[in-house]
Amino acid sequence: MLHLRDLQPADAATIATWIDSLDALILWSGKSGFTWPFAGEQLLALRAADSDRRLLVATDPAGAVIGHFSLRPVDDDSAVRLGLVLVAPYARGKGYGAAMVAAALDTAFADPDVSRVTLGVYAHNTGARRLYERLGFREERVYESSIEVGGKWWTSVTMGLVREAWEAGR
Ligand SMILES: CC(C)(COP(=O)(O)OP(=O)(O)OC[C@H]1O[C@@H](n2cnc3c(N)ncnc32)[C@H](O)[C@@H]1OP(=O)(O)O)[C@@H](O)C(=O)NCCC(=O)NCCS
């Protein structure tokens, strides 16, 4: 079972060790403004600069931090943007990512005023896209040449999940 809690300063340094390249940084954080080499202080600075954004971590049954994500109100608080989804490299492929995103959705939709959750994912991040699709997210828009990383342009995709679809899939 996963447990969620708000990120504490010491967690940020742990999460930074999971980002081992510029590509990994952008794949995870998109246009959040993080720079390579990445350090945990950047995560704390993001939270300090945006008090609406909640940073959460997922812990495994032993209490070790194995995942991270953020939730941010958008569209006049009628929607929540899920972002910064990350599972520790050594913990991937074991179902933690799906369990964590499902728990993130439970957290977001716990507010009855929230009617949808949205996210952005890069088109070539096929594993993450499949994970989101299995949880009910559907593709909404494609942005060609969204960002240039190491001389290559990446396409991004926005996905959305409406409350009705989330409830139907529970
Ligand atoms: C995307 C990510 C969070 C998934 O976490 P995870 O713990 O590996 O995911 P799960 O083990 O729950 O996998 C759930 C499903 O997602 C898919 N999936 C996840 N990662 C995958 C990968 N690297 N390759 C292929 N499929 C993948 C699979 O369909 C899997 O289904 P399965 O049960 O048939 O294996 C993790 O790979 C990660 O942190 N990636 C780097 C950061 C990132 O890309 N974040 C998303 C930004 S939008």
Which residue has its alpha carbon closest to ligand 1 atom 41?
86
Predicted confidence band of residue 150 (pLDDT cuts 50, 70, 90): very high
pLDDT at 1 over 90: no
Task: Judge if the beta carbon of residue 84 lies within 6 A of ligand 1.
Answer: no
Which residue has its alpha carbon closest to ligand 1 atom 30?
131
Enter the tokens of residue 19: 């980002």
Which residue has its alpha carbon closest to ligand 1 atom 33?
95
Residue range 44-92, pLDDT digits in tens: 999 999 999 999 999 999 999 999 999 999 999 999 999 999 999 999 9
Assign a CATH topology to domain 3-169.
Answer: Aminopeptidase (3.40.630)
| 66: Cβ contacts below 8 Å, ≥ 6 apart | 2, 58, 59, 60, 87, 88, 91, 96
Break the chain into its structural domains and give their ranges.
3-169
Q: What percent of the chain has pLDDT over 70?
A: 100
Residue 34: the pLDDT is: 98
pLDDT at 170 over 90: no
∠21-28-86 over CA atoms, to 5°? 105
Pair 54, 71: CB distance under 8 Å: yes
Q: Please state the atom number of ligand 1 nearest to the C-alpha of residue 122.
A: 48
Residue range 86-121, pLDDT digits in tens: 999 999 999 999 999 999 999 999 999 999 999 999
Mean pLDDT of 128-139: 98
Pair 2, 58: CB distance under 8 Å: yes
Task: Judge if the beta carbon of residue 89 lies within 6 A of ligand 1.
Answer: no
Pair 59, 3: CB distance under 8 Å: yes
| 6: Cβ contacts below 8 Å, ≥ 6 apart | 54, 55, 56, 57
